[in-house]
A = this chain, B = another copy of it.
Amino acid sequence: MPANTDIYNLPERSLRLFKILVEHFIQDGQPVGSRTLARDSDLDLSPATIRNIMADLEDIGLLQSPHTSAGRVPTAKGYRFFVDSLLRVSELTHNEIRRIEEELSASEDTQALLMRTSNMLSDITKLAGIVMLPKQEQHALRQVEFVSLSDNRVLVILVFNNNEIQNRIIHTARRFSPGELQQASNYLVETYAGKDLITVRKELVRELEHMKQNVTNIMTSAIEIAQQAFTKEPIRDDFVVAGQTNLMDIAELCDVERLKKLFDSFNQKRDILHLLEQSAHAKGVQIFIGEEAGYDVLDNCSVVTSPYESEGQILGVLGVIGPTRMHYERVIPIVDITAKMLGSALNSNN
């Protein structure tokens, strides 16, 4: 009669054994054998008994052995079960918390803050840190400035409520004088300050229609310029990765092929972005283990993410990428607290 095949009905003893095995493997990356486990577990069992239990765990799909006479290693499913049901996250030390706090002091502009966050994450975990940048769209406009360049090019500067600054160069139909530009910007600030770009665009369309009927509107040129200034979205980076090189020290990723694929996918952004967006609307920390998510570049990797929010609105996602064999009990609270602190840092930045 084979042992129970349901993960959730495993006897206490098997669970403890499994937990110890996973922790052991995370610690030093070697497959764990029955002998070692018998020695290191406080359960007083012989290697043989432990072998039986491990065989059961392998049947259920929590373990696997790389080859006949190596010890056992957790499967992706095993890690999943481990982090979901067995893991106790550890308390961060006072020093660590202070470190995070210090790094996230909200003194400069958002972009720089997010980069610092990413660096800090990678530095503190010795893995790769990743911070998704907030979509600009959601922020309220605060200020609009135009600077006339040569010919009919105009430099547009938009300042948002979160102190983010965007600038774009637009080509206007005709040359505008500085005076006209000043007038236009005054009008636009008056009319649209406090609204986010999406709203602004909508209202602009209405305004345009209105204009067609009432040609005398003195603000024609303002609307004209604004039409371009607010529509053209500058190409922005979607996220920043820091500490990629940390991943090069990790034994299981230590082959150039693999690393290249991973780094390439950081550069192409596409896959990683998908992954991050998935967790944008989860609450709290989320963990993607190995190819679970379907991205084969992330073979043997785990991604620990958390959305960060300010004033109740989700702004983006941050997290850490490392080997499946990472110290979840440390990484999870770090990501968690960083997300929260980043949120409030951004808050006080407004």
Contact = CB atoms under 8 A, between A and B. Distances in A.
Interface of A: 107-109, 112, 142-143, 145, 147, 149-150, 155, 157, 159, 163, 165, 167-169, 234-235, 244-245, 248-249, 254-256, 259-260, 263-264, 267, 350
A169 B159 CA distance: 12
A48 to B, nearest CB: 40
A108 B248 contact: no
A256 B263 contact: no
Contact of A147 (B108, B142, B263): B142
Contacts of A254: 256
A167 B155 CA distance: 15
B248 A263 contact: yes
Count identical subunits in the complex.
2
A115 to B, nearest CB: 10
Given A150-B350, A157-B157, A350-B150, A108 B245 contact: no
A150 B350 CA distance: 7
A109 B249 CA distance: 38
A255 to B, nearest CB: 8
9 contacts: A108-B168, A109-B168, A112-B234, A145-B157, A147-B159, A149-B163, A150-B350, A245-B264, A248-B259
Contacts of A264: 245
A163 B169 CA distance: 9
Given A149-B163, A267-B245, A109 B169 contact: yes
Nearest to A264: B245
A232 B169 CA distance: 26
A149 to B, nearest CB: 6
A107 to B, nearest CB: 7
Given A108-B169, A112-B234, A245-B267, 5 more contacts: A109-B169, A142-B147, A245-B264, A248-B263, A255-B256
Contacts of A163: 149, 155, 169
Contacts of A143: 145, 147
A249 B143 CA distance: 48
B167 A109 contact: yes
Contacts of A145: 143, 145, 157
